[in-house]
Structure formats: C-alpha cells, structure tokens
A = this chain, B = another copy of it.
Amino acid sequence: MNAIGNPAPRVDADLKVTGAARYTVDLALPRMLHAKVLRSPHAHARVAHVDARRAAAMPGVAAVVTRDDLGGLNATYGYFIKDQPIVAIDKVRYIGDMVAAVAAETEEQAVRALEAIEVRYEPLATVATIEQALAPAAPALFEIPPPGIVPAYGAGASGFKDPAKNVCYRFCYTHGDAAAFARADRVFTDEFRFSRMQHYHLEPFVTLARVEAGQIELWSSCQNPFPLRKELARVFNHPEQNIRVHVPFVGAGYGAKNNCKTEPIAVLLAKLSGRPVRFCMTMEENFLTQSQHAAILRLETGVTNDGRFVARRSEILLDAGAYSDASPLVAEKAGYRINGPYRWEFIDSRCDCVMTNTTPAGPFRGFGGTQASWASESQIDMIARRLGIDPVTLRKKNLLKLGEAYVPGESGMDSDLAEGLDLVCREIGYGRGERTKGRGIGIAIGFKDSGGVNKPAEAQVKATTTGGIIVNSGTIEIGQGIQTALTRVVAELFACPSARVSYGPIDTDVTPFDQGTNASSAIVVMGQAVERAARDCIARILDFAASQLNCMPGDLRLENWAVVKDNQAHPLAPMIMRHFGGTGFEFVGRGYFKPETDHHAPLEAKCVSWEIGWGAAEVDVDEETGRVVVRKLVVSGDAGRAIHKDACRGQDEGAAMMGLGQALFETMRYDGPVLANIAAARYRVPLASDLPESFRAVTQEQGHGPGPFGAKGMGEAGMLPVAAAIANAIEDAVGARVASLPLSPEKVLAAIEAKRAKAEDK
C-alpha cells in the first residue's frame, strides 16, 4: 500500500492552511447585492397585511420580496412535504419565520429597508413543545395538510393525519410476533428525553445567486447540489438544465446544509433585481433556520432474568419544529435504529414527527441515531442494574455477530461488535482498579445504518497525457476529508503518488450526479463509484497500451504512469502522443453504484453499511452540586480500512466533542416558543477546557466494509454513544439515573436527591 494509510497531509491542507481555500462566504461578483430578511417576532400568527412599498423606495434597495412577489412560483419547498414558504404567505409559524426580503447595495441598507416594511400580524395560540402540540385542543400549524408527501420507506408510514393535526409524519416498523413479550421474565418501561442542539457550522448559510437570460446560477454552501437544483427547478418552474449549482469548499454542515435554506430568496431577489445577490445569514439566523430534533422516547423492553433481550416496543416523538424539512426521514431512521445492534424476537417501533412553533428541525449528525442510541443504551444499562448483570456482559450476550442481519432481510453486520466493545473497555480500564467515591465508568454502543437510502452515485476518473489524474465526484468536501480519501483510493489503484491525483470542482452542469454528502455515504457509496471509475479508466489505459504493444491487457499492469510488461516499464506519455497526436488525450473511466432496491428488505433496500460508535466515559460526580466532570472519554469507530488515519481520528474526535456538548450542556433553550439562547455568545459549545483529562479516539480497521479496500463510512458514529456512556457512568458513580439531556448539574443533583429520598423511604 502506497497511498492508503499514508500519513502525508490531506490534499486540501495547503489550501486551507494558507487561507487560499475558497468557501461560498468568500465569493463576490461584480454588481453584487446583499440580501437580508425580515423575520417574524410571533411564534404563530396570521399575516393580515404586508406592505413593502416604502422599503422598495429606500436608498440602495434594488429588490424586495413579500408574498405578493411569489406569483408563478411553487412557493413552498421541503424535502418531502412542500410546506415551507419562501416568505410567509398566510401565516408565520415560529419566531424567525421569514416574512420579507430585501436586496440592497450594502447589508446596512438592506437592514434599514427591512425596518420600513409594514406587517400586521394576528397572533394565534402557540404550541412550543411536543406535549402541547399533541394536546387534544392544540392549535394546528397547518389547517390543511400541505402537498407533496412522499410515501417514505417504512410500512405503515403516513403523512398528516386527522385528528393528530400536528403530526406531519408517522413511521412504523414491526417484525416478529408480539407474543414474544409473554416469553420475557420482566418488562421495563422507561422514558427518555433528548434536547436539541444547533448544528453550529462555522460557515453560515450562504448563497450567491445570479439570474441572467434564463440561466439561474448559484454558489451555495450546500451538502446536496443535485437535489437542490431539482427543488429550485420545481419552485421556480425553471428547467433543470438551466440551473447551475456550484459548491466551493463548505465550512461544515453537520446535516444542516441539505436542501433549500438561503437559496430560494437569493435566487428570487437576483431574478427580480437582475443583479447577483448574496444572502449570507448571521450565526444568530442559523439558530432560526435549522436545528436537531428534540425527542421523547418511550421504551417498553422485555428481557429474561438471565439477560436475554426478547421484545421491545418503542414510541418516539420527534419535535419537528415549524416545518417538516427532513423530519420524515429522520423519523424513519430513529424508529428503525431504536433497538440497537442486538438480537430481538419482536420489535415494534413507531416514530411521530410533531410540529411545534419552533425552529424547524432537520438532518443532524447521527440522523435519528443519536436520539435512539441515547435512549436505548441508557435503558440497557438500567436493565443491567435491575437484573444485577454487568452492563458489558449484558450487551455481549445480545450483540449481533459479524455478518448477522439486524432484522431478517437486512444486510449483515460489517463490524465485529464485541471486538469494539472490548477495545473501549480496555481503553477506559473497565472493571480494573479500585472504586473511588463519586467516580464511575459507563459504556455505550452507538448504532446506525450508513450510506443513505437507495442512494445512486456516479463518478468519473480521468487521466491526462502525462498521467495527471482528476477525480470528478459530486461529493462535497465539508471538512471531513473526502477529497483526500477519494484521491488516495485512486492513487492506490493507479499505483502512483497521491500528489498526482486531484479532485475536480462541484458544478452540476458537468460533475457526475450524486444524491448528497450525508449519511456517512461518501466512502461506501461514492467510494465504490469512484473505485469503479478508476478501474474502468485503468482498464481503458491497459487496453490502449496493449494495442500499442501488441499484447493482451492482462499482460500489463499500471505503475507510475507506465505499463509494466515482463518487468519492463513502458512510459505511457510518449505512447499516447504517438497515437493521439501532438495535443494528447485523456482517458476517462466512469463508475456507478447504487444499493439495489430490494422489496424483501425491511425498508425496500438493504443498508449499505453499519456505522458503529463504541464509547466509554469515566466521570467524577460532585454529589453536593451535581456537577459532572468527564475525566476520561474514549470513542472508537470502525473505519473498516482507514484511508487517512489522521482524518479518521479527527472525525471521531470531533464527533465525540459534539457528543460531549450534547451530553453536558449544549441545548437550544426554549422559554415557551422563545429561543432564549439564540446568540452565539449565549449558546454553550464545548471549549478546549471542556476536554476530558484523557480523551482518546481510536480508529479501528476491522476490514469488513463495503467501500474501497474494506473501508466504511464514519464521522457520525463517534457522537452516538457519548451521552449514554456519560449517563451510565453517572449512575455507576452515584447510583442516580438522569434520563433527560443535557445532564446538567441541576438534573444530576435532583436525581441524586430522588435516590436519597427513595433510599430513606426504604
């Protein structure tokens, strides 16, 4: 192996270290305008009146958009349900809902013009929480179900249903026989609460759009340019071939940058003004645009006295916020993943998306798996304690084996789960050493399928006359290192230095199609497409060389831009020049990969790969204050084969820190429908000083992945086990269980006090 596992710096290292890497925020076009939006101060109100005439006449203002400017458009968008308007039409549904937009010469002028827009609201009753939204007399966010529900993947999936007016989607999945519950010795019912984070991507939502002579062109900080193009084509009734989306480097997304955010307003303002428009949100506006899903998870779990998992019924309620966005898909993932990587006789899962008058929730690292792992791995520990079985032993007894299907018809596990569990136990010192008062260790296993749903991917690999190689793939470099991974896979196959391989631009007019950079799909889906493209390209080169050397392609192998035959190297460049003439040529290979649709599989398609995150935490809990200090944190993902070890470790470390924030303090705090900690300064993210004294991310390379050279997707898994591991460690330390995130001192103290009270009762 030459390129795989090579510790040389990432392919984007120079660009990023020198500041030359270009992000959408960095771009400018001549005559560019700046957009700003007017946002609703009401969480739920009818919009009685909007008048932007005065704003339109303000200095520097080139275009204004209100609901009166949506004629001829399909003015609502959404992943599945088309419920989110470009700007408010009849109602506003959360504080921050966009009501009007202005494009002006400067941001200052745009902001000033917003102040001149007259809006009269007629406030309506609000629902700020899942409970309020489900209450019998709750006001409905949508009186009439909006159009566009796409029947998603689970059997029993359904959209808006009366009387549950605020449930925009229900996912159900059952397998096995409900009678299994009767075979359980004990059935435990527990409820868990999951609080929502903001994605906190450092590059805000930003789009630069230009509309000229029937061509829409945009540069956007976006995870899925092709689906974005498709949605914009629908919204603007504009042919797809006349919409061109460029995606420069993306300053992180964590799921937030899928589909329409700043794009429809930027495009509409560009169309109306005839000038390029830049719409860049502030960090505060990010908080009003997208969040993770808060959740309530109820688990009814039947086990035998000796610790065999038998049956589980689960009910998950996701807080979808004011618009549906990707909630149906998040619901499917949470509902499908809730049972963890264990063997069950019967499972029955339901997951509802509940709309509330809060920031719309969307895809977020872990994609439903974070919520599911939090609840499931917490309850498994609780069950272990109730049965008097060691939590690790209990897990091992029920863990699926390598190759064993999650449920019948599903793909087999492509990681050895026990191996990873042993590793983190070893790393954290599980079961070793003496117990210290107030100190405990917790373990958890995060679990999700990865690779996305039914995702097709295309890739192209081209080789120039002198052996320069360019990978063309629609996968976005979003910080995860995928340019490095894919170019090294190609370098390995071409047996050339990785510096000979570059990564092409993302431009929907020319770049091969991809569904999106999400679901840890890049290496297992696009990676396979790229590998096939590289092999196709190499085959074409060897065919050509064989025709020039009068031999069979099988007699040749490629090495350092020469073909080797009987240990003699024949350089390719002169051979190409001879045949193709003085101006040379490019050999091009194409690759395609799509998980086969399979109607026998539980969700119509087998999962591409399983992404597992093993975690272990050691905590000190101050029983007087409830303060938790995470002393040691170990996370481990299985990269299958680590194409670039540092990048893999970086992914696991970043995910673990995000999980740490989620576990201990990071949350969007709502006071009714009012987001109390909207400003970046008031929203607590992990600081360097929050780093545990001992913090390790260990990248396993078990080698069973479906990606190139056995690689598997990663980057989400490190986040999945952290909160449960810490909660489990707290219980291990002080015997108190906190079932609600974040694990704040108040909650920990309350749990300790409740435990004391209970002990005193006895």
The answer to whether A455 and B511 touch across the interface, beta carbons within 8 angstroms, is no
Bound state CA distance, A586 and B592, in angstroms?
A: 11
Do A597 and B579 contact each other (CB < 8 Å), given the known contacts A470-B241, A505-B510?
Answer: yes
Other than the given A21-B213, A504-B510, A512-B586, 13 more pairs (CB < 8 A) read A150-B582, A226-B584, A227-B582, A230-B466, A233-B468, A239-B499, A239-B500, A240-B465, A241-B464, A453-B581, A460-B510, A470-B509, A470-B510
Name the residue of chain B whose CB is nearest to the CB of A465.
Answer: B230
A212 and B20 form a contact (CB under 8 A): yes
CA distance A515 to B579 in the complex (A): 13
A583 neighbours in B (Cβ, 8 Å): 224, 226-227, 230, 515-516
List B contacts of A712 (CB < 8 A).
none
- Complex: A214 Cα to B597 Cα, angstroms: 43
Determine the residue in chain B with the shortest Cβ distance to A152.
B582
> In the complex, which residues 669-699 of chain A have their Cβ closer than 8 Å to any Cβ of chain B?
none
Residues of chain A touching chain B, judged by Cβ–Cβ distance below 8 Å, are 14-15, 18, 20-21, 28, 30, 79-80, 150, 212-215, 224, 226-227, 229-230, 233, 239-242, 244, 453-456, 458, 460, 462, 464-466, 468-470, 472, 499-502, 504-505, 507, 509-513, 515-516, 579-586, 588, 590, 594, 597
9 sampled A-B residue pairs with Cβ under 8 A: A79-B582, A241-B470, A242-B468, A455-B581, A456-B580, A505-B510, A507-B507, A510-B511, A512-B588
Closest to A244 in B: B505
Question: Which residues of B are found within 8 Å of A469, using beta-carbon distances?
Answer: 241
Which residue in B30, B213, B242, B505 is a CB contact (below 8 Å) of A507?
Answer: B505
A460–B586 CA distance with the chains assembled, in angstroms: 14
- One of B242, B464, B466, B513 near A585 (C-beta < 8 A): B513
CA distance A14 to B214 in the complex (A): 8
How close is A24's CB to chain B, nearest CB, in angstroms? 14
In the bound complex, residues from chain B placing their C-beta under 8 Å from that of A582 are 79-80, 150, 227
- Are B213 and A502 interface neighbours, CB within 8 A? no
Q: When the two chains form their complex, are residues B468 and A240 in contact, meaning their CB atoms are under 8 A apart?
A: yes
Which residues on B sit within 8 Å (CB–CB) of A472?
509-510
Question: How far apart are the CA atoms of A509 and B588 in the complex, in Å?
Answer: 12
Q: Which residue in chain B gives the minimum CB-CB distance to A506?
A: B510
| Cross-chain contact of A586 among B30, B212, B462, B513 (Cβ < 8 A) | B513
**Most B C-beta atoms less than 10 A away, residue of A21, A470, A582:** A582
Nearest B residue (CB) for A240: B468
- Whether the Cβ atoms of A588 and B504 lie closer than 8 Å is no
Q: Which residue of B lies closest to A594 (CB)?
A: B580
Least CB separation from A22: chain B residue: B212
Which B residues touch A213, using CB under 8 A? 14-15, 18, 20-21
Whether A586 pairs with B453 at a CB distance below 8 angstroms is: no
Please name all residues of chain B whose beta carbon is closer than 8 Å to the beta carbon of A14 when the two chains form the complex. Answer: 213-214
Copies of this chain, count: 2
Residues of B within 8 A of A453 (CB): 581
Contact status of A227 and B458, CB under 8 A, knowing A241-B468, A472-B510: no
Q: Across chains A and B, which 9 residue pairs bring their CB atoms closest together, nearest first?
A: A241-B468, A240-B468, A513-B586, A510-B510, A227-B583, A20-B212, A454-B581, A241-B502, A240-B464
Given A511-B510, A580-B594, the answer on whether A586 and B470 have CB atoms closer than 8 Å is: no
A336 → chain B closest CB, angstroms: 16
Q: How far is the CB of A656 from chain B (nearest CB, A)?
A: 30
Residues of B within 8 A of A150 (CB): 582
- What chain B residues lie within 8 Å of A233 (beta carbons)? 466, 468
When chains A and B are docked, how far (Å) is the Cα of A226 from the Cα of B512? Answer: 20
**Contact call B584/A230, Cβ cutoff below 8 A:** yes
**A504-B512 contact given A150-B582, A453-B581, CB 8 Å threshold:** no
Query: In the docked arrangement, what's the CA distance between A229 and B242, Å?
Result: 28
* Residue of A15, A233, A468 ringed by the most chain B CB atoms within 10 A: A468
Provide the bound-state CA to CA distance between A584 and B20, in Å: 34
A500 to B214, CA, bound (A): 12
A303 to chain B, nearest CB (A): 37
**Measured between C-beta atoms, what is the minimum distance from A470 to chain B in Å?**
5
Q: How far is the CB of A328 from chain B (nearest CB, A)?
A: 10
Question: Whole-angstrom distance between the alpha carbons of A230 and B576 in the complex?
Answer: 13
Bound CA–CA A456/B540 (angstroms): 15
Contact of B20 with A456 in the complex, beta carbons under 8 Å: no
CA distance A213 to B249 in the complex (A): 15
Contact call A509/B505, Cβ cutoff below 8 A: yes
CA distance A240 to B572 in the complex (A): 15
Give the chain B neighbours of A241 by CB distance below 8 A: 464, 468-470, 500-502
- Interfacial chain B residues near A501, Cβ < 8 Å: 241
Residues of B within 8 A of A597 (CB): 579
Q: How far is the CA of A465 from the CA of B513 in the complex (A)?
A: 11
A121 to chain B, nearest CB (A): 34
* A246 to B, closest residue via Cβ: B505
Q: Are A466 and B240 interface neighbours, CB within 8 A?
A: yes
A13 to chain B: closest residue by CB: B213
Assuming the contacts A212-B15, A470-B241, A583-B516, asked whether A588 and B510 have C-beta atoms less than 8 A apart, the reply is no
Q: How far is the CB of A218 from chain B (nearest CB, A)?
A: 14
From the candidates B239, B454, B462, name the one contacting A580 in the complex (CB within 8 A). Answer: B454
**From B214, B239, B499, contact of A468 by CB (8 A):** B239
- In the complex, what distance in Å separates the CA atom of A91 from the CA atom of B499? 38
- A582 and chain B: residue at smallest CB distance: B150
User: Within the assembled complex, what's the spacing in Å between the Cα atoms of A469 and B240?
Assistant: 8
In the assembled complex, how far is the CB of residue A260 from the closest CB belonging to chain B, in whole angstroms? 13
A233→B244 CA distance, assembly (Å): 29
Contact residue among B242, B458, B515, B584 (Cβ-Cβ distance under 8 Å from A502): B242
CB distance from A246 to the nearest CB of B (A): 10
Residues of B within 8 A of A460 (CB): 510
Q: Which of B239, B507, B594 contacts A510 (CB 8 A)?
A: B507
Q: Which B residues are in CB contact (< 8 Å) with A500?
A: 239, 241
Q: A464-B241, A500-B239, A509-B505 are in contact. Are A456 and B215 (CB under 8 A)?
A: no
Say whether, besides A212-B20, A240-B464, A597-B579, A585 and B456 are in contact (CB < 8 Å). Answer: yes
Q: A150: nearest residue on chain B (CB-CB)?
A: B582
Asked if A584 and B227 sit within 8 Å, CB to CB, the answer is yes
| Complex Cα spacing A14 to B229, Å | 22
Assembly CA distance A515 to B454 (angstroms):
39
In the assembled complex, which residues on chain B have CB atoms less than 8 Å from the CB atom of A505? 244, 507, 509-510
Q: Give A323 Cβ to nearest chain B Cβ, in Å.
A: 17
Q: Report the bound CA distance from A470 to B215 in whole Å.
A: 13
**Chain B proximity of A430: nearest CB distance (Å):** 42
Contact B242 A464 (CB under 8 A): no
Most buried by B among A213, A239, A511, A583: A583
